[in-house]
Amino acid sequence: MLRHFMFDVLSNMSIKTASVILAAGKGTRMCSSIPKVLHKLAGRPLLEYALDLGLHICNVPIVVLGFESEKVQEFIGDRAKVVLQNQQLGTGHALHQAADVLRGQVDMVLVWAADMPLLTKSLLEAVVHCQTKNEGPVSIITAISDDDRGFGRVVRSDRREVQAVVEQSDATSEQLAINELNVGVYCFDSLWLWDELSTLKPSASGEYYLTDLIESAASQRQKIGVVTSNAGDEIIGINTRIHLAEAESALRARINHSWMERGVTLIDPDNTYIDSNVEIGLDTTILPNTHLQGGTVVGSECTLGPNSTIRDSVIGNRCKIESSVVEGAILEDEVDVGPFGHLRAGTHLGNGVHVGNFGEIKNSYLGPGVKMGHFSYIGDAIVGARTNIGAGAITCNYGMDKQKHRTEIGEDVFIGSDTMLVAPLRIGSRVRTGAGSVVTKDLPDDSLAVGVPARIISRLVDDKAESQDE
Ligand code: UD1
Ligand code: CA
């Protein structure tokens, strides 16, 4: 059936385009029990990149799911409409599953595979634009490259008109030598698409190839629009874990370049790992082997690394983090951590806090100016401003009753070296504890306590009472 569908170029704005993301395949070549689209790239599942692109094209993208669809659907939530492909019978069959939802609803259908996470908005816009001007029923993206990546080859006639896309497994040796590749992004005229999909015949492998529609259009002497990408990293498709690693390094390079262009110094970009959702302020310097992960937000003029991992944390301005691990923490301004600090979930450090080597903090607030120089553990605690935690002092927050208990420490306190603070406990302001004391009872303001268990020996603080590590 020959059907011409003419677009009125002048009324482009009113052309409705749907986006369909193909994601039903198991991803057999990944050798994994996890659906391919949930494998992570720069900290985010592959599918999230496709969803971002889909949302850019239209309000509600459609995702075709099959293998482990419940797991993937849970991840998608309400960000897209899901249609199911119960049997994975090929890319043409996958797209056909969206027919009931889209037939008669839109003018054009933009289709691509969820395993192409480096595609850019501008490339997708280019193929949509190409199709709005095309009198024929489909426009495709091709790339010229000597690295075939196992992609389908774009076969052209002597007059350079596209005739077909031939899959690598079905290609003749002559066709295998073609260096114009099918990137796997198509913009169809909707009316034509659904009718043609119903006429698709299975290939030799038994799959219904979406790519066969190119030959259908050519055999109807219809015009096929072509956008040729310059074959940068955009066209990396992920079929194997080797491709995943290739995409990871390409995307990391893209992210790192973009941060350098926006005023962040990377001493060694090849060894700096910034997830795609991270935010970084002006004039921050990142030293080698530093990993900024998840939803981490970093302020200005910080120095991070070397050898640090900062995950899902908020770091203020002018902070310094060296050879440390920071997870789920909030650091206000001018905080310095490390080397070899570990800040765990629920840590909140006020302005100017210093956490030195081998400090560990969990679920605690340390007020402005608190110093914790060496080998200490603070968990489930609140520590007042300017308090000094001596070397080796810890909160014993896990009781014999197998419950976690809280410790409250006031302002300007001097916790002596190796003090054990047995929670639940309240330590008043300006308290001092002697080196090695084991504090099991609350201490009032201005007291000095020593010994095991600690006894209060003075209410008025004697400045020379105890020596402290600094
Ligand atoms: C496909 C193209 C190939 C192109 C390449 C570019 C076909 C037949 N081949 O090959 O020309 O060069 O992409 O990346 O289209 N899917 C389903 N249901 C299925 C089968 C696949 O939803 O029954 C989904 C997959 O989840 C995947 C996408 O379609 O996201 C592409 O499938 P894949 O098997 O990766 O195709 P390629 O071999 O890469
Ligand atoms: Ca693929």
State residue 5's pLDDT score.
Answer: 32
Residue 71 has a pLDDT of 94
Contact 421, 406 (CB under 8 A): no
Name the residue type at position 128: V
Give pLDDT, residue 3. 33
Share of residues in the chain with pLDDT > 90 (%): 90
Q: Identify the residue whose C-alpha is closest to ligand 1 atom 35.
A: 239
pLDDT tens digits for range 89-111:
999 999 999 999 999 999 999 99
- Give mean pLDDT, residues 117-139: 97
Mutate to test the pocket of ligand 1, among 26, 36, 91 (most ligand atoms within 8 A of CB): 91
Q: How confident is the model at residue 9 (pLDDT cuts 50, 70, 90)?
A: very low
Question: Tens of pLDDT along 322-367?
Answer: 999 999 999 999 999 999 999 999 999 999 999 999 999 999 999 9
pLDDT at res. 110? 98
Reply yes or no on whether 342 is catalytic. no
Q: What is the pLDDT of residue 13?
A: 56
pLDDT at 7: 33
| Nearest ligand 1 atom to alpha carbon 235 | 14
Higher pLDDT, 287 or 58: 287
Decide: 185 in ligand 1 pocket, CB within 6 A.
no
Number of Cβ within 10 Å of residue 6's Cβ equals 8
Helices 46-57 and 121-133 pack at an angle, to 10 degrees, of 40
Paired strand residues for 182: 142
Instruction: Specify the higher pLDDT residue, 39 or 398.
Output: 39
239, pLDDT greater than 80? yes
Q: What is the pLDDT of residues 287-316, one digit of tens each?
A: 999 999 999 999 999 999 999 999 999 999
Please check the confidence at residue 391 and state whether its pLDDT lies above 80. yes
Mean pLDDT, the chain, integer: 93
pLDDT of 452 strictly over 70:
yes
Buried b (16+ CB within 10 A) or exposed e, 93-114: bbbbbbbeebeeebbbbbbbbb
What count of Cα atoms within 13 Å lies in the side-chain half-sphere of residue 426?
A: 3
64 lines ligand 1 (CB under 6 A): yes
Distance from the CA of 217 to the center of ligand 1, in angstroms? 20
Helix, strand, coil: what percent of the chain each, to 5?
A: 20, 30, 45
Q: Residue 467 phi/psi, 5° resolution?
A: -90, 145
- 106 C-alpha to ligand 2 centroid (Å): 26
Instruction: With beta carbons less than 8 A apart as the criterion, state whether 76 and 45 touch.
Output: no
* pLDDT in the model for residue 470: 53
The residue type of 370 is: V
8, pLDDT greater than 60:
no
pLDDT band, residue 232 (cuts 50/70/90): confident
pLDDT in tens, 403-436: 999 999 999 999 999 999 999 999 999 999 999 9
Helix (H) or strand (E) holding 122: helix 121-133
What is the percentage of the chain residues whose pLDDT exceeds 70? 95
Is the minimum distance from the CB of 22 to ligand 1 under 6 angstroms?
Answer: yes
Per-residue H/E/C for 180-227: EEEEEEEEEEHHHHHHHHCCCCCCCCCCCCCCHHHHHHHHCCCCEEEE
